[in-house]
Amino acid sequence: MPFEKGNTVGNKFIKGQSGNPDGRPKNKQSIPDMLKRIGEEDVSTKIHGNVKKLFGQVEMGDLTMMEAVMRMTMMYAIQGKPWAVQFIADRLEGKPRQTIDIETHEPIQLIKTGIDNFDNG
């Protein structure tokens, strides 16, 4: 078996050495960075038309992608989609604090019966 105790040939990782010593490349963007950048872009005419169709005569001017997404999310919430309602509530009111109650119990004290075989197990 290649991974028996003490085997050094089959080990995949070297103890104390990072699997990524150079870290993340400097020119790579994270997903949040990409989403922020895309969110700041102007929307296409087609998307703008779809959002305007949903919101009717509301004056929107130029929309960014993020504004279009937020308006669509608001429309889904108005239509009663639970995920959209939850999304908006979490961002406007903040997520509710969740608490965990931990109960501790004292050990049960046994009453001695006076019968040696019973009391001593």
* 112 half-sphere exposure, CB direction, 13 A CA radius: 4
Residue-wise pLDDT tens digits, 13-37:
677 777 777 777 777 777 777 777 7
Tell me: the pLDDT tens digits for 72-93? 888 888 889 999 989 888 888 8
Q: How far apart are CA 2 and CA 10, in angstroms?
A: 5
CA distances from 15 to 1, 8, 19 (A): 20, 11, 10
All structural domains of the chain with their residue ranges: 40-93
Task: Determine the pLDDT at residue 81.
Answer: 92
**pLDDT at residue number 1:** 46
Which among 74, 107, 108 is positioned nearest to 88, based on CA atoms?
74
What per-residue confidence (pLDDT) applies to 83?
A: 94
Give the mean model confidence (pLDDT) for residues 34-61.
73
Angstrom distance (rounded) from CA 68 to CA 89: 18
